[in-house]
Amino acid sequence: MSSNATTHGLWEKTAPPAPVTSELNDLVQSDVVIVGGGFTGLSTSLHLAQLGISAVVLESFDLGFGGSGRNVGLINGGMWVMPDDIPSVLGPVYGERCLKLLSEAPSLVRSIIEAHDIQCELEKNGTLHLAVGQGGVQEIQERQRQWVSRGAPLGILDAEETARRTGSSAYSGSLFDPRAGTLQPLAYVRGLAQAAMNAGARIFHNSPVIEAQRQGDGWLVKTKKGSVVAKWVVVATDAYSTGPWKIVRAEQVHLPYFNFATAPLSDNLRKTILPNREGCWDTKEILSSFRMDQSGRLIFGSVGALRNTGHSVHEAWARRSLKKVFPQLGEVDFESAWFGHIGMTSDAVPRFHKFDENVIGFSGYNGRGIAPGTTFGRVLASYISGKMSDDELPLPTTEPKAQAFRALKEAYYELGAQVAHFTDVRL
């Protein structure tokens, strides 16, 4: 995958091998060419192939190289923002349609995994949004109220039940989401790719797109060594976009996020810390997350980049924080460390773009890549096939626009996280 161990960390160590793919070295034809081999691109290719529509996937590096292979692995419903905020941004029709789609998204992920027997450490016991202090309790109560009003089965757990489920007394309560769960994200990427190939999709790695130009009523998409002629182009590169559609990167601010994984915990510790393996994150402004993999490794993360002085600062903070949250752990050894970038749009809501005639894509997942990416891939396939019209899309069509002061914002987030973790002061 990468010679730098801090890009994919534990996921590269524990994922099954990637399916055998090759570089694109020839001129090939297809109904659709998909740029990007992550959750969205591979889901699109799988659903197109199942509809009898030929699809070619072009990945610049290895499958899952971008955000998909660096993900925390939480299969969440909805987005980070409160449910009521999405209709206020998108309008009531698109907003409620998008919420319904994303509420059902974890179920789609599970159904794909089960239908194709994808070995990706799937856990279906939900997630816990952990309340820190009374302000955190009020936040999760309001989030629960907004979801329940839309028929979602979320419940509030008190501090005692939260402590029983997490193994920590650090939290004032939690919001339990039974729709959700966890998985090994790189393993899921590779399983999606194999399922798509089994259905007839063609996938090429190490084949970055350098140019796209109109050819008749379709497109000629060029890589360094080959080309694809197709009627449709799907742009599925999201926060790691380069090349002809680098504007997708420019319209998002990168928020760095790191994870440290312990060595497998003892059986006694695993009986008390996350015995049901829920995925967790808290209500702090600079949030923390933790979960367990199937071998008993505790994976603990937060905002920040593991480079330069950031690595030592964030590692020291992670050790201190684990002692506070789980004093029964004692001293811990970290087996893996890695980080990636979350692409944040200006309003924390995803985008649907028509870059040109028959050139489309979703982007801007704001830290919720697995379930939305998989679901939007199915939407793209339905739209291309004609099974879904413009009026049925979950998002309005918008023009991509670069965010102002993007580099300054990104520097602030990276430095601010370092300062906060060095001093243990919340921003």
Report the chain (427 residues): mean pLDDT per 10 consecutive residues. Answer: 85 98 98 98 98 98 97 95 96 97 98 98 98 98 98 98 98 98 98 98 98 96 98 97 97 98 97 97 97 98 97 97 96 95 97 98 96 98 98 97 97 96 69
pLDDT the model gives residue 5: 85
Tokens of 422: 């060095």
DSSP state of 285: S
Residues in the chain: 427
Can you give the pTM of this predicted structure?
A: 0.97
| β-bridge mates for residue 32, sequence order | 55, 232
pLDDT the model gives residue 426: 40
C-alpha distance from residue 415 to each of 5, 7, 305, 314 (Å):
22, 19, 9, 11
pLDDT the model gives residue 136: 98
pLDDT the model gives residue 50: 98
CA 227/CA 218 separation, integer angstroms: 13
Angle at 313 between CA 308 and CA 315, to 5 degrees: 105
CA 123/CA 110 separation, integer angstroms: 9
pLDDT the model gives residue 424: 80
Angle between helices 370-385 and 105-115 (to 10 degrees): 80
pLDDT the model gives residue 19: 98
CA 280/CA 274 separation, integer angstroms: 9
CA 58/CA 104 separation, integer angstroms: 28
Three-state DSSP state, 221: strand
pLDDT the model gives residue 2: 67
